[in-house]
Copies of this chain bind each other. A is one copy, B any other.
Amino acid sequence: MQYVFDFDYKHATPPKELKGLLGGKGANLAEMTSVLGLPVPNGFTITTDACRAYMESGWPKGLTQEVIEAQQHLEHSMSRRIGDPDNPLLVSVRSGAKFSMPGMMDTVLNLGLNDKSVLGLAKQTSDDRRFAFDSYRRFIQMYSRIVLNLPVDRFEDLLKEAKKKANTTSDAGIPADVLEELVESYKSLVQELYGSPFPLDPALQLRQAIEAVFSSWNADRAKAYRAKEGIPDDLGTAVNVQAMVFGNRDDNSGTGVGFTRDPATGAKGAYGDFLPNAQGEDVVAGIRNTQPLSALESYFPEVYQQLMDIFKRLETHYRDMCDTEFTVEQGKLWMLQTRVGKRTGVAALKMAVDMVEDSHIKLSKQEAVMRINADNLDQVLHPQLDKAGGSLPQHGERVLLVEGLPASPGAAVGKVYFSADSAVSAAADGEKVILVRSETSPDDVHGMLASQGILTSRGGLVSHAAVVARGWGKPAVVGAEAIHITGDSFSVRGVVSVEQVGGNNPGVISQDLPERSITVKQGDFISIDGTTGEVFLGELPLVQSQPPSEFYTILSWADEIRKDKLGVRANADTAADARKARELGAEGIGLCRTEHMFLAQDRLPVVRRMILANTPAEESEALDELEKVQKEDFLGILEAMDSLPVTVRLLDPPLHEFLPDVESLAVKEATEGLTEEEYRWYEAAQDWREENPMLGTRGVRLGVVKPGLYAMQVKALMEAVLQRFAQGGKPIVEVMIPLVVSREELQLARGWTKDAIDEVVGTDETGFKVNDEAVKIGTMIETPRAALVADQIAQEADFFSFGTNDLTQMTFGFSRDDVEGKLMPHYIKLGLLENNPFETVDLYGVGELVRIAIQRGRKSNTGLKIGVCGEHGGDPRSIKLFFDAGVDYVSCSPFRVPIARLSAAQAVLEKQSIVTGP
C-alpha cells in the first residue's frame, strides 16, 4: 500500500475525488498541481490510510522510506534542501481530513529551521536576520506546544521579557539580537521542560510533526467537533507537507484570500482580502487592516490578471464558487489552497440559480437543487441574530448565557417575563417580550402568543412549548437546564462563552466559565436563537429576512423533480397555520391535531366540564358546545386548504392534560383548601392520572372510553365540510385514528366515524353525498405493534400515516421529554447513538419498522396511501429514508415545508444516482 503521494502524482481518478484518501486539502492541492497545472508550492500528502494504520498499530512500516523519497523529490523540484545551511527549504506540515474541521487540528510551520539553516534563511532574505530569527523562535514555540506538548505560558513569559528588554510592545519591534537570545532561552526552556534538547535534526522534526498531526485526530476537541458534526471517528486525517513561501519576505510580496464570487451575497466577481508584505495568518487574525482583493491590481497588475484567470479556471473546473489562499513571493503568485467555498443561504441560492445560466458552468437544474441544503433555506426564512452587532450590556461583550435545545427556528429579542399574564400585559404596553418558564402548559398559551419567543428550562423538542412554538413559527429554545428560575429572575451558573464584539481585539475572550454566574431580572433584554438553541444576554440586532427570488426558483425546480413522486404536506392546527403552510408550498395538511383546539382558554373550561360530567346529559351538553367551536376551527382550515386534502387526527392526548396539575392542587388542599370546583378537578385529575401517560389511555383508547368524543369531532368536521360545499368550496377531508395497535380497534373506530358521517350527512339539505370515496378513514402507525401487524390493519385503512415521534419513543423506550435533554447528550458523546433519533429517523430500528409496515400494509391493501407526519417529515436525511421505503408524502410544520420540498427532490435525485459537484 502506497502511503505517500506527491502533489504532482498522476492519479487514475481526478484527485479532487480522492478526499477520502488524501483529505480535502491534499486532494485539492493535487488537483491544482497535477490536473490544472497551477502554480502551487510543491509538496506531498501522507494518506489517511497511513493515519489509520498509525492509530491501529503505530508508525507504519515503509512509511519512513516513502517520506524520504517524497522529500527528495520535493527538494529536487524546489532546488533547495531541508535544513540546508545555505539555501534551506522550509516546509509546513498540516492536517487535512476528508471533511473540513476548521481550527480543530494541528499545523506546524517553518519546519526545517535549526541553528544552521536559520542562517541560510537570513541569507535568502537579503540577510534579514530579524526575519530569520523571528521565524526560528516562532517555530520553536509552535513545535514545543504542538509536537512536544509543552505548556505555552512559559514561552510567552520569555517573549514578554524580551519585549521589555527591547523596550517595545509589539513582536515586530524586537531586534534581531534580542531574538537570537530569545531563541537560546527557548531552547533552554525546552531542555528544562522536555528533559532533552530541542530537536535540531530536520528529519526528526518532520517525523515528530507528522506523528503530532496523526495524534491530533484523537484530541478531545477534535472528537467533540466530530460528534457534533456527525463525522465518523474512524476516518483519520491526511498530512500535507508543503514547501513554504513567504508573503512577508519583502515589499514585492504579499498574501490574500480570494473567493471566485461573493460568499455573503452570491454576487458574481472575485471577492476577498489582500495584504502586501504579510503572511497568511496576518490576514486571518485581523491584526492589520486588510485591503479588498481588487487592491491587488494596483500592487501587482500581472499577478492580479493571472489570479483572475485562475479563478475562472477554478470555477469552470470545480463548477462552483471556490475559496482560495494565495501568496505572492517576490512577485510570483503561488496558490496555497483551494476548495469549494462556504457561503450564506442567500449566496447559495443566488449562485445555484446563476450557475444554471452561466455559460462556463452550465449547471443543470437538478445539480442546482442538489447544491442547496436545509440551513440555506432556514437562513432566508427566519429572522437571524446579527451576532456581530448590537447594543450589548457589558462594554461590547457578547455573553452566550446558555445553549438549550433548538425547538423552533429563527431568532427573537425581547424583555424577559416569567408569567403568561405579565407577558401579556407587557406586550399590551408595546414591549417586545420573551416568555421564560420552567415549562409551559395550556395555561400559558396566551402568554406565548403575546411573546416574541419562548425560553424554557425543562422539556424536550416535543414538549408543549416546543410543539406550540413550532406551530406558530415562533422562535423557541427549550430544555435550557442550566438556567434556574426563581420568581422574577433567572440565574445561570457557568456561562458558555464571552466574546468581544467590534473594538480592537474581537473574538472569543473566554469559554466555559463555571464560576461566572449571571442573574437576569424581569424586564432585562435577552436574545434567543431557536435555530441553534443559543441564548444571549442583551439586545442583539435582528436581521429580518425576506426570501430572495432564487428561493422560489430553486423550490419550483425541486417541485418539478419530486412531483408525482413524493408529496409534501404540512402539520397545521389553525387556519392561520394552514394559510402559512399553503403559502410555503404545502400540498395539503398531513396532520391537523385537534387537541390544540381544546387548549384555548375559552374552551378548556368546557373540556373540563366534559371530563367531569356525572351524567350522560352533562357530557353530551359539553360535547355539543365543543362541537360548535370545533366546527368553526375546521371551517377556517378547510377554507385555507380548499381543494387540497386535510387529514384530521381525532383527539390523542390523555385527558389529564386538560386538567390542572395534581401536585399543586394537593399542596393547595393542604394549605388554603380547595373550592368545590377545584376539588372536583382534584378528584378527576387523580382519577385520570397515569404513571406513564404516554403509554396510557390516549389516542383511540380515549375513543373506547369516551366514544361520544370522537363522534362529536367527526360530526363537527362533517358540518364544516357541508358548509364549505354550500359556500362553493371544495373540501377534501381524511379522518385519522391515532395510536392503533390492532385491526379490531380500527374497525371499531371506523364504525363510529362512519356512523357520525352518516348522521350529519343524513340531515344535510345541500344535496352533497358523502360516500366511501369522499371521506377517507385511516390510521397513524405509531406503535411498534401497528407496524408489525400492518397487513391486518391495512384491511381497515384507506391510508397510513407514520407518527415517527411516538414510534421512536416506543421503539427505543425513550420518553423524549425525559431523555432528550438529560441522557441524549451522553449517548451522542459516547457514540452509543449515531445521532439523536428524534431529529433523524433511526435507520435500523424505527426505519426497519417503517419498511416492514409499508411492505405488509401494501401487500394486503394495494391502494393504501402512506404518509409521514412526525417531526421527521421535515428532516432531510429522514425524508430520504422515507422515500426509499416507499411513502407517498411527508408532512411537517409549515416553516419546514420549503425544506421538505427541497429534500424530497434531493431524495428523488439521489435515488436516480444523479451526483453533482466536487
Contact = CB atoms under 8 A, between A and B. Distances in A.
Nearest to A782: B813
B744 A833 contact: yes
Interface residues of A, number: 55
A174 B655 CA distance: 63
Which of A692, A809, A815, A846 counts the most B-chain CB atoms under 10 A from its CB?
Answer: A692
A827 B691 contact: no
Contact of A811 (B691, B705, B782, B784): B784
Contacts of A693: 691-692, 815, 818
Interface in A821-861: 822-823, 826-827, 830-833, 842, 844-846, 848-849
B742 A822 contact: no
A663 B671 CA distance: 14
A739 interface: yes
Interface stretch (A210-218, A339-347, A694-702): A694-702
A845 B830 CA distance: 32
Interface of A: 662-663, 666-667, 670-671, 690-697, 701, 704-705, 739, 741-742, 744-745, 748, 782-785, 788-789, 792, 806, 809-815, 817-819, 822-823, 826-827, 830-833, 842, 844-846, 848-849
Q: Which 3 A-B pairs have the closest CB atoms?
A: A785-B845, A692-B815, A695-B815
A284 to B, nearest CB: 38
18 contacts: A663-B663, A692-B692, A692-B693, A692-B695, A693-B815, A693-B818, A694-B815, A741-B813, A744-B832, A748-B832, A784-B784, A784-B849, A785-B811, A785-B842, A788-B844, A788-B849, A806-B813, A810-B810
B663 A748 contact: no
Nearest to A844: B789
Contacts of A814: 695, 741
A5 B651 CA distance: 54
B812 A697 contact: no
A229 to B, nearest CB: 18
A742 B843 CA distance: 12
Contacts of A745: 832
A254 to B, nearest CB: 51
A80 to B, nearest CB: 50
Q: SS class of chain A's interface: helix, strand, loop or mixed?
A: helix
Given A670-B667, A695-B694, A823-B701, A811 B810 contact: yes
A744 B739 CA distance: 30
A692 B830 contact: no
A833 B743 CA distance: 9
Contacts of A818: 690-693, 695-697
B823 A705 contact: yes
Contact of A670 (B670, B789, B822, B830): B670
Given A697-B819, A815-B695, A832-B742, A704 B827 contact: yes
A693 to B, nearest CB: 7
Given A695-B818, A697-B819, 6 more contacts: A692-B694, A693-B815, A741-B812, A741-B845, A744-B830, A744-B832
B742 A691 contact: no
Contacts of A663: 662-663, 666
Contacts of A848: 788-789
Given A663-B662, A704-B827, A815 B785 contact: no
Which of A813, A827, A842 counts the most B-chain CB atoms under 10 A from its CB?
Answer: A813
A811 B691 CA distance: 17
